[in-house]
Amino acid sequence: MAGVSLVLEGKVALITGGSRGIGAETVRLFAQAGAQVVFSYKQAREQAETLAAECGGSKHCVAVQQDLSSATDGRALIAAAVAAFGRLDVLVANHGVWPSKDAPIAEMAEAQWRNTLAINLDSVFGLVQAAVAQMDLQRASGFASGQTTGHIVLISSTAGQRGEANHADYAVTKGAVISLTKSLSSELAPRGIRVNCVAPGWVVTDMSSETLNDPELGPRIASGIPVGRAGTPLEIAGPVLFLCTPLAGFISGEVLNVNGGAVLVG
């Protein structure tokens, strides 16, 4: 008896922040599912080139160095992805910044606030705007109501649902991503573009390792997660892949919580 396959043969996916952590695992999964993958990185050139080679090289996987701190940057990355493989079927907006040092709102520097919003939100606007324009161009002349022509997955966080003390800048952007998901779903589902969101909890990545490895904070965080530990990048990448397959064709505007049961929201 044949198993169920999550297959993306013939599709082109762009994954931002793909050189490490959740992004790198997502790149690997999409490549394994048969997609041609473009992913962005900011500074980790060696890691990015190694990952691209691992996933099949230039005919299957391309790494693009691109700063993402403005809408213009986002639009430029979409153009690079289309130039690489001629089309775009999937956008996964995974990149982001989480300033790890606590910054109470009364003390937070305006520069930090603006930088976090620029990276986590402004660039996402540019990415989505250009991706939708490209997906609209690709719509077949025989497009039928209900047919899926593209997928967008935005990565939020539990911080966007319950807030995060001393990290208001980050929480604000992730809450906005959830609102953006719902707005885009209502707008784009009739045009065949499915927009969904994955909201991870604590995940073991370079960005969170200092906090999770802290002898006091690490155990405290784990004790607040019903499964008893932080997640792995692969455990986030799997749901992202699922949302971009035909099995998820009737899912639109959903916020998929992947947090070990730490935050239960409807």
Six-digit token string for 2: 């044949």
Cα distance between residue 244 and residue 91, in whole Å:
9
Smallest CA-to-CA distance from 181 within 167, 208, 161, 205 is with 161
Six-digit token string for 197: 């969101």
CA 96, 32, 37, 244 dihedral sign is negative
- What is the amino acid identity at position 92? V
Cα distance between residue 189 and residue 202, in whole Å:
30
Which one of 170, 212, 252, 259 is the catalytic residue? 170
Q: Is 41 a catalytic residue?
A: no
Six-digit token string for 87: 């089309």
- What is the amino acid identity at position 228? G
Q: Identify the H or E element spanning 243.
A: helix 233-243
Which residues belong to the active site? 170
